[in-house]
Amino acid sequence: MNSSANPCVYDRSGTAVPIPCSHISCFVDIFGVMKISPDAAQSKPAAWPTGERRLPAIGHSALASPDRKRAYNEALFEQVAPRYRLATRLLSFGRDASWKRRLVRAALARHFQTGGAHHAPSAIDLACGTGDVAFELARSAPDASVTGIDVSADMLQIARVARTRHRIANASFVLGDMSSLPAGDATVDIVTGSYALRNASDLEATLCEVLRVLRPGGVAAFLEFSLPASRPRRAVQLRLLRFWGQLWGVVLHGNPEIYAYISRSLSRFPDSDQFVTLLSRTGFVGHRAHDLLCGFVRITVVEKPR
């Protein structure tokens, strides 16, 4: 491959469309994220060798339907799996890995504060994707048993390959939906989720399921986009997220709607105050929050009552 050629994206028919390197470098340099090598930018996504798999139509009606939202998520994440880790790094201004480490540290710190040091913990990572949080949990607590669950078989395959490559023996991965967790009542010490709850087909049912599997005193920790209660600030934040998602959707997939889903799904997600109320109504206690990126992202930690 000629590394001096301009990077390109691919349209729905699979045709290469060149993009001047200066356009990409401008955005990358301004926002301080990592540079894309010409080879990485020019390579055609593995999911598109014979044309893009079309996503189901998505709109507010689909987001309001648990079955349609679940189907959309399955199709979306199968499609983005080959470039998911790159996408999350770019979308987060290069901070995704550090945020996930903070999530794991917060979860483990609360676990030990609540008396969890007396036994090897069990943990579930919701919507685990390619396994970043599950691996961080497994490394940070070598005696833990960590299970990642996701609706995307392609994501899980990438996670399993990485587990073998890095020789992480205490993490496993299961195909499934976070609204029906593969664990008995009160059998899990820690539940984590990074960008997970916003994708839940039924948020309240998922939180109830998390509460069900946690032991008394068990910890749930979530990393998620956050919206302010103020309507004007909320509108501005959603517009910024939509623009940022569309930009990287074009660069990485040739499709601006791929990551515009972030703002669309977030528009139906509870704002910061509503989310605290929902957690309390579900039965969680001990709410603590840590804002990141000027409040665009938040780590929330709660526990199940003893």
Query: Exposed (0-12), middle (13-18) or buried (19+): which is 5, by Cβ within 10 Å?
Result: middle
Q: Which pair of tokens denotes residue 190? A: 């820690």
Tens-digit pLDDT string for the chain (306 aa):
444 444 444 334 444 444 434 334 433 433 443 433 333 333 333 333 333 445 555 554 567 677 788 888 888 898 899 999 999 999 999 999 999 999 999 999 999 987 766 788 999 999 999 999 999 999 999 999 999 999 999 999 999 999 999 999 999 999 999 999 999 999 999 999 999 999 998 999 999 999 999 999 999 999 999 988 888 988 999 999 999 999 999 999 888 888 988 998 898 899 999 999 999 999 999 999 999 998 899 999 999 999
> Can you list the domains of the chain with their CATH numbers?
96-228+278-303 (3.40.50.150)
For residue 174, which of 159, 195, 189, 193 has the smallest C-alpha distance?
Answer: 159
pLDDT for res 115? 75
Distance CA 202, CA 21 (A): 42
With CA atoms as reference, report the closest residue to 199 among 295, 99, 57, 74: 74
For residue 74, the number of C-alpha atoms closer than 13 Å in the C-beta half-sphere is 13
The alpha carbon torsion through 257, 260, 264, 269 (nearest 10 deg) reads 140
Helices and strands (DSSP H and E) totals, the chain: 12, 9
